[in-house]
Chain A
Amino acid sequence: MSEEMEEMIVDAVSNTFENLAFMFVEEVDKSELENTGDEYFISKMAYSGDNTGSLVMATTKQMCINLATNILGLDDDEEPEKSILGDAFNEVLNVVCGQLLAEKYGEKAIFDLTIPEISSVDDKKWNEFLELEETIGIMVDEFPVLIAAYFND
């Protein structure tokens, strides 16, 4: 992946976390993000239309709790419902996808997006995703996030 493309992806992720949840992104060396012992979630979505491709993003359960708390503006002593943790992370991926496609292909291009699908994964799957060449590692506040974009052009 070119440096320019990597920068575009990190920018889209940064803007999304900052504007949606007031959380801040720092790009880090992937080796710093090896398994943290937490439970992980991985969210995937695809797009088709003027071009095709897909996005995959992973993080920890604790990150999803903080994310949902921030999006909903809950107080420190309030805990978000379990049912919306995955929903919050899917929403981030959805917004990142919209921003990235507009940035890469321009605002005239039309795409159909699939609904993001989230699943729980173990340390092994986290590390496999971490080791892929396309995967970018970032820290969002103090939480690890991995993202990969696959553009079929």
Chain B
Amino acid sequence: MSINVLVVDDSKITRSVIKKTIKIAGIDFNKIFEAENGKEALEVLGNEWIDLIFTDINMPIMGGAEMIEKLGDDGLLKTIPVIVVSTERSQTRIEQLQKCGVKAYVKKPFHPEEIKKIVDDIIGRD
């Protein structure tokens, strides 16, 4: 099954790198949507069916933590797996995000294999 992916990051170059990683990692995707912050991401989620979200934490207008909190308030959106890709390394913050339902936390800079393994684990493929 091809999946729709949403990449949320205020850095255009980071969005490009994540998109490229998804492609070269051999992840079976249908469409990759982009958003520059949590607010834009929620707009995309209101209009499109999304199967997987990659998000940064530190973004203007609405950060990743606030967006994840809002996803948790929505019966349907809270079922979408979220992978956080961030420069933050605080174990305390990672644990807080995991309690909010975040499936995985990837520290920047990352390797494509790391993303591939995490996506395979989450969507249940080898």
Cβ of A121 to closest chain B Cβ, rounded Å: 21
- Least CB distance from A46 to B in Å reads 12
On whether the beta carbons of A98 and B91 are closer than 8 Å, the reply is no
How far is B93's CA from A95's CA once the two chains are assembled, in angstroms?
Answer: 16
B109 contact from A16, A83, A108, Cβ within 8 A: A16
Tell whether, in the assembled complex, residue B90 and residue A109 are in contact, meaning their CB atoms are under 8 Å apart: yes
Q: A98-B87, A102-B89, A109-B90 are in contact. Are A115 and B17 (CB under 8 A)?
A: no
CB distance from A9 to the nearest CB of B (A): 16
Q: How far is A88 from B6 in the complex, measured between Cα atoms in Å? A: 21
Interfacial chain B residues near A109, Cβ < 8 Å: 90, 92
A94 interface neighbour in B20, B58, B91, B92, Cβ under 8 Å? B58
* B92–A95 CB distance below 8 A: no
* Known A-B contacts A98-B86, A101-B89; A115 and B13 likewise in contact (beta carbons under 8 Å): no
Asked whether B11 lies within 8 Å of A98 as measured between CB atoms, the reply is no
A84 touches B87 (CB 8 A): no
**Chain B residues bordering chain A, tally (CB within 8 A):** 22
B67 sits at the interface (CB 8 A): no
- A residues less than 8 Å from B90 (CB atoms): 101-102, 107-111
Chain B: minimal CB distance from A63 (Å): 14
> Are the CB atoms of A71 and B11 closer together than 8 Å?
no
Interface string of B10-29 (1 = CB under 8 A from A): 11111011001000000000
Contact of B93 among A83, A88, A90, A110 (CB under 8 A): A110
CB distance from A45 to the nearest CB of B (A): 9
Given the complex, which residues of B lie within 8 Å of A91, measured CB to CB? 11, 13-14, 108
Minimal beta-carbon separation of B111 from chain A (angstroms): 8
B2 to chain A, nearest CB (A): 24
Closest 10 CB pairs of A and B: A98-B87, A102-B89, A20-B109, A107-B91, A19-B109, A87-B13, A84-B13, A94-B87, A95-B87, A110-B90
| B interface residue numbers (CB < 8 A to A) | 10-14, 16-17, 20, 58-60, 86-93, 107-109
